[in-house]
Structure 1
Amino acid sequence: MSHLLILPFFFIITISAQSNNSTFPNCPPANCGTVNISYPFWKMDTESTAQFCGYDGFGINCSDTGDQTISQITLGGDSYYVREINYVFGNIFLADYDVSPAAVDHNNCPRVRHNITLGTLPLNFSMYSVNLSFHFECNRCPSFATEIPCLDNNGGKSCVHNMSTGTEETADWEGYSCDQEVVTTVYREYINMNPNFSTEFSRILQGGFGLQWRTMDVDDCEKCEESGGRCGRQNTTDFFCFCSDGTIGWGDCKGTIVTIV
């Protein structure tokens, strides 16, 4: 994974970076293998899922698989392997868990099985992202796409198309009788490093993609952060603002203080 070290310098966009200090007694950072988990992310475990300090949907599950400690986050009901989190630039680097080196059944010919769904989460794809469209069980591959022989099944062809080439708008797949289409996102840099899709597509997928997070645009959370607090919940319904002095505010760190027993 050493090639990941080249990625952060691409992200020179000026954004609001979240605090990553440990002065919040209710919001301690945690480590999961080589991944540091801190606000607005939070570590999930069976004993504290009723209370967390961070954004809804930003919980990270930490588990041991063989000799690996794996960090996973769920987006749209699908699991993603957390490669790294950069709190200075506000980026999280992910790979689809099904095609990542962390998968138990990992192989050199992984198949993407779902689109990437962000829903209403305060996340944006990196500007260095590229969409790839995979088409499975086709009768043949069009000239604007590349066949992936290792994914062919019972005579059905598997094809991949780089949607950044500008041909997607005019690409007509109807005549190729494909059974399924899956669109996934990868780094443009990994495509440049591995231009032969037919044999190197697994490296491109394993390189993953980056997301940038922004301030949660929920009124209560925005007010909490403006008052110097961190957003969180005591259970699935009650919003609280965790303050740097260890108190818990009802809405923000300037108003009513909540005592939880």
Structure 2
Amino acid sequence: MPRFSHVLVLIVFFLHACSSSSQPVYARYANCPPTSYVCGDANFTIGYPFRVDSRHDYCGYPGLYLSCSTSNDTNSLALTISNNNFYVTSINYDNRLLYLVDTIFAGQSCPQPYVNTTIDAGLYRASDRCTNLTLFINCTAPSSPIPAIYDVLCLLNATGQHSYYRLDNGTMDNVLGRCSSTVVLPMAQDAATRMVNGELGFGAALQEGFSVNWLPGTGWCSNCVSSGGRCGYNSSAPRAHTCFCPNGTFIDSCYPTARSGTGKPSDRWKSIIGICAGAASFITGCLFITLWYHSHKKEVIDAKRVEAIIKKHGSLALRSYTYSDVKKITKSFREKLGQGGYGTVFKGKLLDGHLVAVKVLSESKGDGEDFINEVATIGQTSHVNVVTLRGFCVQGLKRALIYDFMPNGSLEKYIFSESTTATTTETTLSWEKLYEIATGIARGLEYLHRGCNARILHFDIKPHNILLDQDLCPKISDFGMAKLCPRKGSIVSMEGMRGTIGYIAPEVFSRAFGTISSKSDVYSYGMVLLEMFGGKREKSLRLDSASDTYFPNWIYQHIDQSESLMAYGVTNESEEIVRKMMIVGFWCIQTMPEDRPSMSRVVDMLKGSIQELSIPPKPCLSSPFDLIVGSCATSSVYIE
């Protein structure tokens, strides 16, 4: 409850503002008109939220600094976003559109190198005038052309490997074989259409750039300008933005009669009365907000912290949605797909008809740590075997994540059910299909550990978190427990135990087994491989905390090639790949982390011949319930 003295201070402050309302034109209003700025052959109008050297800091929003950059004796307007440098070709204030070209692509017919384009999600969002181009670099050429996949002829390398591109975020399965890298680049929709039609070359299309909408100044700035004010920034203001008017500073707009500091005395008194009335309303609002805050204090999360981390790790491919948008996408949460401790997942549809799964997180989930992890990690990924995060919502206590919809559900339904409930017409998956799924999961983990700009440890690999698209292509999902590790050889803090009982590596339970690292994900992956075979066993032999038969022990007894697996539903044609999966699985669950292979090595083992694989030593296999001793202490994670 606010003290009376605090209210009195507010009243005195606004009375002072009322008495001084007829003073000369306010200095900051005079300092912040739109500015003509010449750079090279172009003349730009610079207004809020942008600033240049000739404009004061408070006339623009932090991070939106434009400069005239010189390159090859040419001057161009430049902007730095998330450590990426862009040339600004045009600014459209009516639609809040900024047209950008990556400096790497300027003046090159076949520009490279390529890296994912990241845009600060706290300042920008992708405009509806651009699309995403996914570029697959140095791939094994497919045996026949693939629809909607285009060869980039200028990137053909000396070893005969091709590079390809596709538009938007469709799935690729494994039709291209292995590629050295995959990146996502934004592109103007018009340029993309002309490139596909052969009217524009690949490099020329990239040089046409793309557009983004800037977020600072949305809504309130137009109100400020229309009322005769000039938009500005004030870090001490309630919402950081402010409206500079001839007679002072206001929250959103100038008062209608306060457009000038000079006028008839009657006009000035009307202005004074209007300002004082506004002051009284503001004080009433402050009291109401203060009372509401104190009554809900325990429920308020640190939304600024969430937004700051999203801003730091944001990607251009992510869109920020309001809670109202989320309700429209899900038709007021009509169709529920699932529910857990994290929240509830609903089916939805975007305006373009694309089906999505919307995860609405529970409001009681602490300070939003799982939400932060998921956006900060998966927001930086782009891989055929990692689920695509399309956007997020953070509005007060409301938090939601929007993913591509996976019509065939999770892998768990296929390996633990005799009659799957998935939408596929198959009732069970063949061993060949399970092998393809296992290989896809391995490639996805390999990408997370080695292929991202910042390395990612998942910490919760299990069948439930492997989703299957319409073609049964696996997608790693649920990054709520993940750790983002930006540097090789870095150590990060990890409090408590991460993961699901039965899939957690021994070192996560106790440091006596070794250091927590990417090998902890390898262990979980190995358990998933063994589950694929274990799910075919009699139900009485499945993992049960009360059972004396721990299923990896049971499987290890059948790893010897001298025993046929036909009794467990394995045909002669499938026996080699099943036995290979079992051997690789046991290499992955070796007790000590240093004895396990990396995910890159796992992919090679799965693709290679079984004759090249040796049977691993039998790990120290115990039920996970026997490994939990005492409480989990804070430990460190070493990233190899």
TM-score by length of 2: 0.30
Query: What is aligned with 1:14?
Result: none
Report how far residue 161 of structure 1 moved.
Answer: 1.2
For 2:242 and 2:168, locate their aligned partners in 1 and report how far apart those are by CA, in whole Å: 42
Query: What is aligned with 1:19?
Result: none
Over 3 Å counting, the alpha-carbon distance change for 1:216 and 1:121 in structure 2 is: farther
Query: What is aligned with 1:163?
Result: 168
Query: What is aligned with 2:105?
Result: 99
AA of the residue aligned to 1:38: G
Query: What is aligned with 1:206?
Result: 207
Q: Which of 48, 55, 59 in structure 2 is aligned with 1:53?
A: 59
For 1:74 and 1:82, locate their aligned partners in 2 and report how far apart those are by CA, in whole Å: 10
After TM superposition, the structure 1 = structure 2 runs for residues 92-241 of structure 1, keeping only pairs within 5 Å, are: 92-100=98-106, 106-111=107-112, 113-140=114-141, 143-144=146-147, 145-155=149-159, 156-163=161-168, 168-169=170-171, 171-173=172-174, 176-195=177-196, 200-216=201-217, 228-232=229-233, 241=242
State whether structure 2 residue 51 is matched by structure 1 residue 42.
yes
Report SS of the residue matched to 2:128: coil
Query: What is aligned with 1:78?
Result: 84
Report SS of the residue matched to 2:115: coil
Report how far residue 148 of structure 1 moved.
Answer: 1.4
Report how far residue 183 of structure 1 moved.
Answer: 0.7
Report how far residue 136 of structure 1 moved.
Answer: 1.0
Report SS of the residue matched to 1:119: coil
AA of the residue aligned to 1:42: R
Whether contact under 8 Å (1:39, 1:54) holds in the other structure is yes
AA of the residue aligned to 2:167: N
Query: What is aligned with 1:90?
Result: 96
Greater Cα radius of gyration, structure 1 or 2: 2
Report how far residue 118 of structure 1 moved.
Answer: 2.4
Over 3 Å counting, the alpha-carbon distance change for 1:108 and 1:140 in structure 2 is: same
Query: What is aligned with 2:323?
Result: none
For 2:72 and 2:246, locate their aligned partners in 1 and report how far apart those are by CA, in whole Å: 40
AA of the residue aligned to 1:143: I
**Deviations along 1:91-122, whole A, 9 cap, x unmatched?**
1111112112xxxxx32111262223223333
Whether contact under 8 Å (2:110, 2:203) holds in the other structure is yes
Over 3 Å counting, the alpha-carbon distance change for 1:216 and 1:122 in structure 2 is: farther
How many aligned residue pairs are there? 216
Report SS of the residue matched to 1:99: coil
Report how far residue 179 of structure 1 moved.
Answer: 1.3
Report how far residue 240 of structure 1 moved.
Answer: 7.6
Root-mean-square deviation (Å): 3.7
Report SS of the residue matched to 1:172: coil
Over 3 Å counting, the alpha-carbon distance change for 1:199 and 1:122 in structure 2 is: closer
Unaligned runs of 5+ in 1: 1-22, 101-105, 256-261
Report how far residue 127 of structure 1 moved.
Answer: 1.4
Report SS of the residue matched to 2:192: helix
For 1:112 and 1:198, locate their aligned partners in 2 and report how far apart those are by CA, in whole Å: 24
For 2:87 and 2:67, locate their aligned partners in 1 and report how far apart those are by CA, in whole Å: 10
For 1:62 and 1:86, locate their aligned partners in 2 and report how far apart those are by CA, in whole Å: 18
**Deviations along 1:116-142, whole A, 9 cap, x unmatched?**
322333322221222110111212256
Over 3 Å counting, the alpha-carbon distance change for 1:25 and 1:246 in structure 2 is: farther
Greater helix share, structure number: 2
Unaligned runs of 5+ in 2: 1-27, 255-274, 280-640
TM-score by length of 1: 0.67
Report how far residue 154 of structure 1 moved.
Answer: 3.2
Over 3 Å counting, the alpha-carbon distance change for 1:36 and 1:69 in structure 2 is: farther
Report how far residue 175 of structure 1 moved.
Answer: 5.2
Q: Which of 52, 65, 68 in structure 2 is aligned with 1:62?
A: 68
For 1:147 and 1:157, locate their aligned partners in 2 and report how far apart those are by CA, in whole Å: 7
AA of the residue aligned to 2:112: R
**Deviations along 1:32-73, whole A, 9 cap, x unmatched?**
422322211111x4x98x834222222112123344221111
Greater strand share, structure number: 1
Report how far residue 181 of structure 1 moved.
Answer: 0.9
Over 3 Å counting, the alpha-carbon distance change for 1:25 and 1:138 in structure 2 is: same
For 1:197 and 1:172, locate their aligned partners in 2 and report how far apart those are by CA, in whole Å: 26
Over 3 Å counting, the alpha-carbon distance change for 1:90 and 1:140 in structure 2 is: same
Over 3 Å counting, the alpha-carbon distance change for 1:69 and 1:128 in structure 2 is: same
Report SS of the residue matched to 2:116: coil
Whether contact under 8 Å (1:112, 1:182) holds in the other structure is no
Over 3 Å counting, the alpha-carbon distance change for 1:203 and 1:41 in structure 2 is: same
For 1:110 and 1:192, locate their aligned partners in 2 and report how far apart those are by CA, in whole Å: 19
